């Protein structure tokens, strides 16, 4: 079900029907999807835990709480919610946000961080209400 909502939301973004989402939080969700596919999928997917947790539902989720994923002790004790600001801070310097966490990757360019966060937030907006 989530895969269909994701596909529909992504298609809307690609054909321009999601123009307001394309610049959510100052980022470009279409570019963010491209960045996700080129830089993040080595460890993450949108709907399955891999080396890192699934990220299709990360926006708005409490940190360290993806179902079925075993987090580092540091991140499993985190209590913040993944807002746009927290996601951007994480992608800037994960260790500064959660000392002792296990992710060894960051995005050095602010535009790239904004775009990836816009993409992740667009997935939350495309999810059906539960």
For residue 13, the model assigns a pLDDT of: 42
For residue 96, the model assigns a pLDDT of: 97
For residue 122, the model assigns a pLDDT of: 96
Query: Residue 91: which of 113, 120, 58 has the closest Cα?
Result: 113
List the CATH number of the domain containing 66.
Answer: 1.10.760.10
Number of structural domains in the chain: 1
For residue 128, the model assigns a pLDDT of: 66
Walk along the chain (130 residues) in steps of 10 and give the mean pLDDT of each run.
46 41 70 98 97 97 96 97 98 97 95 98 78
Distance CA 118, CA 108 (A): 16
For residue 126, the model assigns a pLDDT of: 78
Residue 103, classified by CB atoms within 10 Å of its CB into exposed (0-12), middle (13-18) or buried (19+), is: middle
Q: Which domain holds residue 29?
A: 2-126
Structure-token pair, residue 8 = 């529909």
């Amino acid at each position: 079900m989530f895969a269909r909502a994701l596909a529909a939301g992504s298609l809307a973004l690609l054909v321009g029907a999601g123009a307001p989402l394309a610049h959510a939080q100052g980022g470009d969700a279409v570019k963010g999807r491209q960045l996700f596919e080129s830089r993040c999928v080595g460890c993450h997917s949108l709907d399955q835990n891999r080396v890192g947790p699934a990220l299709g539902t990360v926006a708005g989720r409490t940190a360290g709480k993806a179902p079925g994923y075993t987090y580092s002790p540091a991140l499993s004790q985190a209590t913040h919610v993944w807002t746009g600001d927290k996601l951007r801070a994480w992608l800037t310097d994960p260790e500064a946000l959660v000392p002792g966490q296990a992710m060894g990757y960051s995005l050095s360019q602010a535009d790239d961080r904004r775009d990836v966060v816009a993409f992740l937030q667009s997935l939350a907006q495309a999810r059906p209400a539960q």
